[in-house]
Structure 1
Amino acid sequence: MSLRFCRPAALFSAVLLAACASHPSQPAAQPKALPEGLRADVAVLETTDIHSNILSYDYYKQKADPTLGFERTVTLIRKARSQFTNSLLFDAGDTIQGSVLADYQAQVQKIGCGQELAIYKAMDAIGYDGGTIGNHEFNYGLPYLSQVTNTPMNVDGGSQQHCAGPHYPLVLANVDSVRDGKPIFQPWTIIERKFAAFTPDGSQLSVPLKIAIIGFAPPPIMQWDKQNLAGKVTVTGVVEAAQKYMPEIQAQHPDLVIAILHGGMNNAPYTPDMENGGWYLAGVPGIDVLLMGHEHTDFPGPRFAHMQDVDDERGYVRGVPAVMGGFFGKDLGVIRLALVRQQGHWTVDKSKTLSQVWPICPPVVSRGKPSVSPANCVPADPQIPLVVGKVQQAAIDYVNTPIGQSQLRMSSYFADEGDMSALAPVNAAQIDYTQRELPATHPELAKVPVLGSAAAFRTGFGGPDDYTDVLPGPLTLRSAADLYFYPNTLSAVKLDGKGLKAWLEQSAQRFNRIDPNATGEQQLINEKYVGYNFDQIQGGIAYVIDVSKPAGQRIVKLSYHGKPVQPAQSFVVVTNNYRASGGGHFPGLDGNNIVLAAPDGTREIVAQWLQKHPSLDSKDVPAASWHFARLKTHGPVVFTSAGDKQAVAQGDGLHNITQLRDNGDGTAVYSIDLSH
């Protein structure tokens, strides 16, 4: 049941635009009294964490991927609009970054002030009612963000220039300029729409709806993008920001208040810098609907099954209808909002309000287990490729620029089990860059050992194709982008041996504690500890991880060039700006011990290093630096990776890995024999 109102959209016809001009969206004068018991159903639709995955395409494997892409989400949006008479569509952020296409427009062929960003063109083609800003929107810096969102900002390095931007309002309440203390985006706004409602006797009326939207970014952006934001903006906790602006919003007497949070839920004790404050935001009086994101998961969904005051089946958080619509365009969040007129106000009828997440690829049951089949995915909307086709092809052509040859297969299928083939070139490039650049600013550190730290960013979270896999043969810029997924910049920190061990102990939380005496299957990987926080360090060090020991006591051997690392021994460790500034909450990493903050992106540094090694082989990269402590178990220790990759493990020297069973969805369960 799609609400019919004038949305500015790039592909609307001149006739419709003229109709919008002659019939402004301001609602007609509200009747003196709407009848009691009047009812209206409104579908509140949400996308989040699209990460500029506009088309269903894998840039790294150079092939179509029907399991993701905004062009397929659009098909669901059109379906929802045909099913619901009244609908509203919002985006919860992490929109402009995250794909090769996004990097191409931001860093390679930078778009001009008069050009609209490809993702916003695609979103305008379907028409949005509002959105907010996610943490990754800040990755390319405030000047770029200001330009592409058409938001003049009074910040250092900002611009007051108006440029092409999305045709819908962006709201952000908890990020303020240091210069004047004012929000860099409008913190909230009111949108007004006409919608169909029904009297108790079944008569239909067209009535106005006044909706307030307020947006929030995750407060840790000050750590994650410190180099882009420090000294330019300040960040407020989501609850504090909501409490600040709710009186202003309520003074406008909205019928509905929708909070759009780029964040998920955590009901640990609240702090103003909480990353996922949705549970607490839902408790702020006056918020009627909560839209969430950032966590790359679904709500309602089983991940939140045991959280207090959360209904993970009907989609309520502390009594507030809420939704979180996945990531990469894989899903559409849908709240079927039932409104009823009582005592002169619209209220939410919770007995008839329900939240759902609609997948673009409805799961099919195979061998009693749900799995995703590309054949079961909804078709792509034909309009979206027309909007972005030219820039999409330009980005593909760019990443296919040759940069060398490789004798090695560099993959992350078994990065959690000790295969460092995809991490070694990253660490080699980081170490080489730092050894050349650091002495210019810190000559006193010229003889301090430089180590490299890297994590495998693609370890299957997004499905069986979500792994790095650079085959032997020609290398292109696409290869570098596959090896280093995010547009981070390089940073180096100085720490001692004690700090180095603490870093590795934190990383080793990637594993569950294994009981040698257990006879049943034990999962090796701790799914609550994300793969991009499993840092693996190289550069002359060697260490052993004992997964039979509790977290914090697992690094049982740590040496540098064969000698035990001493607690006071000095090291420089090269990482990325996210980690060096406190991302992941690693001990001793808070931005205060950074000795090199490079202006160059790590991906570009890796590409340049590969060009310097035009025939890459094993002698050019450091050897694997760690392995598991030998442990004989009574039952199998298992993990999941892409199916039929046992030969890859053996080719990289992991002869203790065996595929046990195929899951039927492109993944397989493997066992690892820790006694070898």
Structure 2
Amino acid sequence: MHQRSRRLTALLSAVLLAGCASQPQPHATAQAPKLPEGLRADVAVLETTDIHSNLLSYDYYKQKADPTLGFERTVTLIRKARTQFTNSLLFDAGDTIQGSVLADYQAQVQKIGCGQELAVYQSMDAIGYDGGTIGNHEFNYGLPFLSQVTGTPMNVDGGTTQPCAGPRYPLVLANVDSMRDGKPIFKPWTIIERKIAAFTPDGSQLSVPLRIAIIGFTPPPIMQWDKQNLQGKVTVTGVVEAAQKYMPEIQAQHPDLVIAILHGGMNNSPYTPDMENGGWYLAGVPGIDVLLMGHEHVDFPGPRFAHMQDVDDQRGYVRGVPAVMGGFFGKDLGVIRLALVRQQDHWVIDKTKTFSQVWPICPPMMVGGKPTISASNCAPADPQIGQVVGNVQQQAINYVNTPIGQSKLRMSSYFADEGDMSALAPINAAQIDYTRKELPATHPELANTPVLASAAAFRTGFGGPDDYTDVMPGALTLRSAADLYFYPNTLSAVKLDGQGVKAWLEQSAERFNQIDPHASGEQQLINVKYVGYNFDQIQGGIAYVIDVSKPVGQRIVKLTYQGKPLSPTQTFIVVTNNYRANGGGHFPGLDGSNVVLAAPDGTREILADWLKAHPTLDAKDLPHASWHFARLKTHGAVVFTSASGKQSIAEDDGLHDIHQLRDNGDGTAVYSIDLSQ
């Protein structure tokens, strides 16, 4: 038995060595030795996604360790999986280089040179990846930076023409092409070859080749979200169209597996080429064997997708294709246990033994009958990552602690959805001030047009009980500005009439569920399907009331400007960010066509400069809260969830109608809001 296995292994090795002596030909696999029928192999396909450069378990805004996130803990799970599975492959689904203070420091402050590798790629190379794709946030710092740090020469304006230091694994992207030559800015697909352990029906182990094709996709709406970085430089194709374009090329190479790496989730509403989350449709493209997803910051398999057609949210299948989406910020590892069997000279996925899982770095513990995250139950950090990035991490921390002023106010987002605008008011004040100074230079005819400003609370608990903005009274630093304004957006201003302003507010008010005043049970105030960063709140002499008893589209009442009813025809300049102004969130009237100011400056930097100009920040420096809920007496309690123990903050900010009902035991609590007050 063992002699036969050794002879077959030797034969395979000899043929492979002979094949390595020349360049691979399109049909090189036809020359490979025939593998035994019924040969089996288990391959773990591991996935990270949406790391957002959260390499270490650290909260830059609160300046303390946070064991519930961080790539250094995901690495511990990767090593565990590699021990558990004889064969494994590791891929990343994008949103990798942006999203933390460390990322901004290397991109915008202490910019790395061509010969330096980005910290996140250093960390990923330390553990070893097999491939990855490009997420939408990779484009936030512009194509020149992306070209440099990925080591990818690009034939685009400002693109690096020389190969710089990038990751040591291939990056693939099939749906973004240069406008100069119509060619992809990254390799659209590639084939990687690995040796795997396989077993014959009689139990003999063989070392055999496995050829895996990987193809990558980014969300088509990047052309809206990063218009200032991409317009006139690249074009974007729908994910299905791009897959259909390149699949014939891939299949001509006869790979054993085709893995689609999509920076996107799933939406099975009617398909369009600009669909943000096209995973459901991509899974239906013939020839794709495995689907890796991201972008949505949720887990698959998981209950979010329980009722989606042709989706198995327990075993992890999308239209019959094994799939996984592994969380965000290094909180999880996606794992597909791929069972392969050799049939008719091909590897076939045995779907009776193939399934997907998401491994959390902090498995929930049952406390009082409820799943609860406890730091004591989190995977330990792998020490290698801290060794790799420790120096630049400390430099970034030192930088964001640069003093910029003082504040007499506490600015937080614990109750931003309920009317506490303390964390939004300084953003809106800075945006208005900047626009009033800069707009007349390019549009003198608009110099006397009223300027409003819109901001949303980016951190409202989605990532857990610490995922809130909270700037304490006292010294302000650059870290404070980064806490108040989380993303590296640039400032944009649009021209709208009063009707357009109202339509903007109406869509923002979709953040709330419709409340039935006659219902006797508890009603949830927040519509969790409407993300917090799309709940824009507008200030600048405007005032309005939100009536949550009314249906969507009819909730903005008593809308005034400077104390008078807002005219539908009055002209306004509304300051926002480039994401929103160019169509992000699909707000009515916002598609980039009415932008009158596209600032080169980042909103965070504009905010920091404004704070420096107000060295002792007080309430008199900020615009008043612009909205409140319509009075509504309800039979049952109207409730929402926020961080536990924060009722006093609501009271200090004038929200006396909010009361903590019960502690959830996981750092969060259920609060009630009395809408009748």
TM-score by length of 1: 0.96
Partner of 1:268: 269
Provide the C-alpha distance between the structure 2 equivalents of 1:32 and 1:487, rounded to a whole number of angstroms: 53
Verify the 8 A CA contact 2:44 2:338 in the aligned structure 1: yes
SS in 2 for 1:658: strand
Shift of the alpha carbon at 1:611?
0.2
Shift of the alpha carbon at 1:40?
0.2
Shift of the 593–510 alpha-carbon distance from structure 1 to 2, 3 Å rule, reads same
Partner of 2:572: 571
The alignment yields a C-alpha RMSD, in angstroms, of: 1.4
Partner of 1:19: none
Verify the 8 A CA contact 1:263 1:295 in the aligned structure 2: yes
- 1:188-215 CA distances to partner (integer Å, 9 max, x unpaired)? 0000000000000000000000000000
Partner of 1:624: 625
Partner of 1:318: 319
Shift of the alpha carbon at 1:33?
1.2
Partner of 2:443: 442
User: Does 2:658 match 1:657?
Assistant: yes
Provide the C-alpha distance between the structure 1 equivalents of 2:34 and 2:233, rounded to a whole number of angstroms: 48
Verify the 8 A CA contact 2:340 2:349 in the aligned structure 1: yes
Please identify, of 421-430 and 28-37, the stretch whose mean Cα deviation from structure 2 is larger.
28-37
Shift of the alpha carbon at 1:340?
0.3
Shift of the alpha carbon at 1:369?
1.3
SS in 1 for 2:122: helix
Letter in 1 for 2:666: D
Shift of the alpha carbon at 1:156?
1.5
Partner of 1:89: 90
Output aligned runs, 1:444-593, within 5 Å: 444-593=445-594
Partner of 1:135: 136
Partner of 1:395: 396
Shift of the 163–482 alpha-carbon distance from structure 1 to 2, 3 Å rule, reads same
Provide the C-alpha distance between the structure 1 equivalents of 2:563 and 2:354, rounded to a whole number of angstroms: 64
Partner of 1:668: 669
Shift of the alpha carbon at 1:32?
2.4
Partner of 1:223: 224
Provide the C-alpha distance between the structure 1 equivalents of 2:32 and 2:206, rounded to a whole number of angstroms: 11
Letter in 2 for 1:305: A
Partner of 2:613: 612
Shift of the alpha carbon at 1:371?
1.6
Provide the C-alpha distance between the structure 1 equivalents of 2:538 and 2:106, rounded to a whole number of angstroms: 32
Letter in 2 for 1:564: P
Partner of 2:116: 115
Output aligned runs, 1:64-79, within 5 Å: 64-79=65-80
- 1:65-106 CA distances to partner (integer Å, 9 max, x unpaired)? 000000000000000000000000000000000000000000
SS in 2 for 1:598: strand
Shift of the alpha carbon at 1:453?
0.3
Shift of the 254–593 alpha-carbon distance from structure 1 to 2, 3 Å rule, reads same
- 1:256-287 CA distances to partner (integer Å, 9 max, x unpaired)? 00000000000000000000000000000000
Provide the C-alpha distance between the structure 2 equivalents of 1:34 and 1:443, rounded to a whole number of angstroms: 75
User: Does 2:644 match 1:636?
Assistant: no
Provide the C-alpha distance between the structure 2 equivalents of 1:274 and 1:29, rounded to a whole number of angstroms: 38
User: Does 2:282 match 1:244?
Assistant: no
Provide the C-alpha distance between the structure 1 equivalents of 2:372 and 2:48, rounded to a whole number of angstroms: 22
SS in 2 for 1:240: helix
Provide the C-alpha distance between the structure 1 equivalents of 2:584 and 2:268, rounded to a whole number of angstroms: 20
- 1:110-155 CA distances to partner (integer Å, 9 max, x unpaired)? 0000000000000000000000000000000000000000000001
Letter in 1 for 2:475: P
Output aligned runs, 1:428-439, within 5 Å: 428-439=429-440
Letter in 1 for 2:580: R
Verify the 8 A CA contact 2:419 2:627 in the aligned structure 1: yes
SS in 2 for 1:339: strand
Partner of 2:36: 35
Provide the C-alpha distance between the structure 1 equivalents of 2:435 and 2:335, rounded to a whole number of angstroms: 48
Provide the C-alpha distance between the structure 1 equivalents of 2:360 and 2:366, rounded to a whole number of angstroms: 15
Shift of the alpha carbon at 1:367?
1.7
Letter in 2 for 1:296: H
Letter in 1 for 2:194: R
Verify the 8 A CA contact 1:25 1:192 in the aligned structure 2: no
Verify the 8 A CA contact 1:30 1:208 in the aligned structure 2: no
Total equivalences in the alignment: 655
Verify the 8 A CA contact 2:29 2:254 in the aligned structure 1: no
Partner of 1:648: 649
- 1:627-675 CA distances to partner (integer Å, 9 max, x unpaired)? 0000000000000000000000000000000000000000000000000
Shift of the alpha carbon at 1:29?
10
Shift of the alpha carbon at 1:586?
0.2
Provide the C-alpha distance between the structure 2 equivalents of 1:556 and 1:476, rounded to a whole number of angstroms: 38
Provide the C-alpha distance between the structure 2 equivalents of 1:91 and 1:66, rounded to a whole number of angstroms: 21
SS in 2 for 1:501: helix
Shift of the 505–24 alpha-carbon distance from structure 1 to 2, 3 Å rule, reads farther
SS in 2 for 1:456: coil
Output aligned runs, 1:62-461, within 5 Å: 62-461=63-462
Verify the 8 A CA contact 2:489 2:578 in the aligned structure 1: yes
SS in 2 for 1:244: helix
- 1:304-356 CA distances to partner (integer Å, 9 max, x unpaired)? 00000000000000000000000000000000000000011001000000100
Partner of 1:11: none
Shift of the 607–96 alpha-carbon distance from structure 1 to 2, 3 Å rule, reads same
Partner of 1:10: none
Verify the 8 A CA contact 2:452 2:573 in the aligned structure 1: yes
Provide the C-alpha distance between the structure 2 equivalents of 1:526 and 1:440, rounded to a whole number of angstroms: 42
Shift of the alpha carbon at 1:557?
1.1
Runs (4 or more) in structure 1 with deviation over 2 Å come to: 22-32
- 1:393-444 CA distances to partner (integer Å, 9 max, x unpaired)? 0000000000000000000000000000000000000000000000000011
Verify the 8 A CA contact 1:30 1:207 in the aligned structure 2: no
SS in 2 for 1:482: helix
Which runs of 5 or more residues in structure 1 are unaligned? 1-21
TM-score by length of 2: 0.96
Provide the C-alpha distance between the structure 2 equivalents of 1:327 and 1:30, rounded to a whole number of angstroms: 42
Verify the 8 A CA contact 2:214 2:260 in the aligned structure 1: yes
Letter in 2 for 1:566: S
Letter in 2 for 1:560: Y
Partner of 1:7: none
Verify the 8 A CA contact 1:198 1:204 in the aligned structure 2: yes
Q: Give the % identical residues.
A: 86
Letter in 2 for 1:591: G
Partner of 1:8: none
Provide the C-alpha distance between the structure 2 equivalents of 1:91 and 1:318, rounded to a whole number of angstroms: 22
Letter in 2 for 1:59: Y
Letter in 2 for 1:486: Y
- 1:487-529 CA distances to partner (integer Å, 9 max, x unpaired)? 0000000000000000000000000000000000000000000
Provide the C-alpha distance between the structure 1 equivalents of 2:306 and 2:171, rounded to a whole number of angstroms: 32
Verify the 8 A CA contact 1:28 1:208 in the aligned structure 2: no
Shift of the 604–64 alpha-carbon distance from structure 1 to 2, 3 Å rule, reads same
Letter in 1 for 2:608: A
Shift of the alpha carbon at 1:294?
0.2
Letter in 2 for 1:245: Y
Shift of the alpha carbon at 1:23?
12
Shift of the alpha carbon at 1:159?
2.1
Provide the C-alpha distance between the structure 2 equivalents of 1:23 and 1:532, rounded to a whole number of angstroms: 55
Letter in 1 for 2:255: P
Provide the C-alpha distance between the structure 2 equivalents of 1:646 and 1:296, rounded to a whole number of angstroms: 28
SS in 2 for 1:526: coil
SS in 2 for 1:421: coil
SS in 2 for 1:245: helix
Letter in 2 for 1:212: A
Shift of the alpha carbon at 1:161?
1.4
